[in-house]
Structure 1
């Protein structure tokens, strides 16, 4: 009841609490546990597959809510392509990153967490719309401004397929270089979403990618979600 989010204190119900820095926390069923000998030690990614989304659902237990707030911290593997596949629509892998939605047929968008290949590249559709180097990706209309976008590679840095980039977590609001304003856009790491109408829907989290997870992925380390 002391939680302050979206500018208001109290009345928030926690529906998701995953922190893989804690040894007693586990990945949701169906997600792949990624372990390392250096920080980050544990994260949750897509299982071995060519493309698509891996999903888990957080129950709201029938609670009626109209606002969602929270944070997700993740990492970059390889060369995710942000919103370059947006034409596939909300029910498919429109994003290389993490999608939060509620409801079904179609899903209703809450927030998107896009991973980009780097901060500024000739792969113009594979970088963040908050890049300021002259090349900008675009976002689907159903996403609007409700997203975070980040990359662990500064400037137009090169990338290696399948390489884990641990030094700069995604969507934490820190570490942006001179070619990006993404650390300021929507003030990550915490998001706040006012829904168009109240609902009791459960909340779905999906990690999506258009390539094999051995080439690129956006595994998460922390997921915290609240409804009000």
Structure 2
């Protein structure tokens, strides 16, 4: 009897999803929700977006959304944090770069690729800031400010080492953001000027090269 009980118990364990499978399923569902939320928030804004619209686009019951995110604001903040964290990873090249040619050049490449592959996240961020950051003002005053000062410190060091021309680090960062994120925030305009078609792989590479050349020449490293 005991042997049979053990067999039944082992059989039941085999049928149950293990912890890794459950965690993977949870991550995949969360990613589906966040991707759908990015699209809805980018198109409708925070005010026009609803949890039902997001659930419909994600192909999930609305109750599932509330299981992962209690409120629309919590989901919105997560969308904003996600694009910002992606940008943060792109800025890691600053810290280990030998100088501005490598650091700023690689940063431009990374930011352009983010604009290409995560345009909706960028649009959500832009819309939020243009409306006075009613939901994420605290984020701007803490995380963004600290991150910006860290990058500006690196730029000041490169200037003091004679590796680039005297430049206001803040305005350089603003210009880098504006230029690279333009390709996401105004993608429709770019597509229209490109004959109605999205940029091809070759055009993206040409765009990255052009932006890097213009910026690096401007700071005196080319």
Q: TM-score range by the shorter chain?
A: under 0.3
Q: Which has more strand, going by share of residues?
A: 1
Q: Which has more helix, going by share of residues?
A: 2
Higher relative contact order (CA 8 A, sep 6+): 1
Please tell me whether Structure 1 or Structure 2 has the larger radius of gyration of its CA atoms. Answer: 2
TM-score scaled by structure 2?
A: 0.25
